[in-house]
Amino acid sequence: MAGTSAKPTKNGLGYSGYARRDDGTSDRLLVQVGPGTPGGEYLRRFWHPVAFMRELKDLPRRERILGEDLVVFKDGSGQVGVMHLHCCHRGTSLEYGQIEERGIRCCYHGRLYDVDGTILEMPGEPAAARFLEELAQGAYPTHVFNGMVFAYMGPPEHQPPFPNYDRFNVPGIQMTPGVRLPFPCNWVQIKENAMDPAHTATLHALPGNPFGIAFGVFPELEFLETPTGMIYVGTRRVDDKVWIRSTDVLMPNIHCVSSVREEGRELKVVAPPWMTLWTVPVDDENSITFPFLHVVKDRAIDIGQGNRTLNDTAEEQRRVSLGIGLGQTGDRPYEERQRVPGDYDAMVSQGTIPKHSKENLGNLDRGVVLFRKILRRSIEAVQRGEDPPYMYRLDGLPTPTYGTDRVMLATEVGGDADDPKVLKALGHKTAREYFEKPPLQALA
């Protein structure tokens, strides 16, 4: 028939839509986060951000975290509560509760709950004395860190201390909370994006993208496990320099990056931390990223080639914290996002939960594969009754992290800086050096 395109195509693979209609399946072990699921029980062994302190005013906040509906509030004494949303009496939502000097009072029958869920008052109840000893509202321990509220939602007997990573303690750098960044997709595909540095050479090299120009060069990649998760090391030739960039994933759901404005043209031994991002599952199909900015304050930071003041302007910091210009939100006009898509568009368009069985992974996806192996290994360990592997230090001492930038002269590489094998070996060698002497120690 005229106008049709039914001619045979190369390898016989063209026009194969009819044969490829399978909807695909997801790896449920990795993506499920609800109570009682293997993945959900693993995630509950860690602290997770649930709100910013600045969001807790005179009204309770309704939140959904790890598939559970919660209420978050700060009472009149300054104590923070995170508890089950529905009152244990008759199920009324505590988002309508009244915050008092101590605790929150259900609007329906006036039961007053302390931040730990114990009942303080049961107005008009003749058996109050007995009920006060027997009943409680479900509540979770909280920890406030640099303006962010965290909750531990796992078994009390396994509650770990709050993590203390070395990037939290760099002199002259202040950790500043950003804003919540919602994603209508599963949390796993957001963390996988952090271990997919190949995308920076395409997605972040599109015209109009704000990332540094040097990101448009495909790096030579190494992916390595660390005591707390994994890193990638991407090594590129940039003019007469070689730029070695590393990014951490700290299990289960933190990733750490240095500046995306890096061009790889200024010599440095180490770059200061720039952002630390927790991605918290709301449920299986939604996530929130809670970012911290690492802002240089009141002093220069020695990065190995003399002191440089690395302050961004206040406006730049504001834009970064909002994800403006970095493609981390869906707030831009649709046509603009089509022309200059960002991480948000690439990740969310995979679907609320990606269909793993339909993927066709290649060599550039080694980081994604390794992340999934580590996550699976971790979930299965908790299933067996073991402690989660890849845990941070539990003695309160700083836990090393390895995400940074190093820029050196091409003549110092010890081989042909245009040879991919030489660059790859250099990346591997640099990672091993970081493991022996964590790079951020140079900024202490």
366-383 and 187-194 helices, crossing angle to 10°:
130
pLDDT above 70 (res 296):
yes
Q: What percent of the chain has pLDDT over 70?
A: 91
Higher pLDDT, 193 or 12: 193
Question: In which band, very low, low, confident or very high, does the pLDDT at 420 lie, cut at 50, 70 and 90?
Answer: very high
> Cα dist. 187→30, 82, 332, 343, 359 in Å?
10, 21, 22, 13, 18
Structure tokens given for 247? 């990014």
DSSP 159: P
Q: What type of residue sits at position 246? A: S
Does 1 score more than 80 pLDDT? no
User: Between 3.90.380.10, 3.40.50.720, 3.20.20.70, 2.40.70.10, what CATH number should domain 166-443 receive?
Assistant: 3.90.380.10
Residues contacting 150, CB < 8 A, separation 6+? 47, 48, 49, 50, 142, 143, 144, 162
pTM as predicted: 0.91
d(CA 92, CA 162): 32
Alpha carbon 328 to its chain's center: 12
Here the tokens at position 27 are 């790896």
Spell out the domain ranges in the chain: 47-158, 166-443
Rounded CA-CA distance 296/299 in Å is 7
Contacts of 258 (CB under 8 A, 6+ apart): 245, 247, 271, 272, 273, 274, 403, 404, 405
At the topology level, CATH places domain 47-158 in Rieske Iron-sulfur Protein (2.102.10)
Quick one: pLDDT at residue 303? 44
For range 251-256, the mean pLDDT: 97
Mean pLDDT of the chain: 90
300 pLDDT tier (thresholds 50, 70, 90): very low
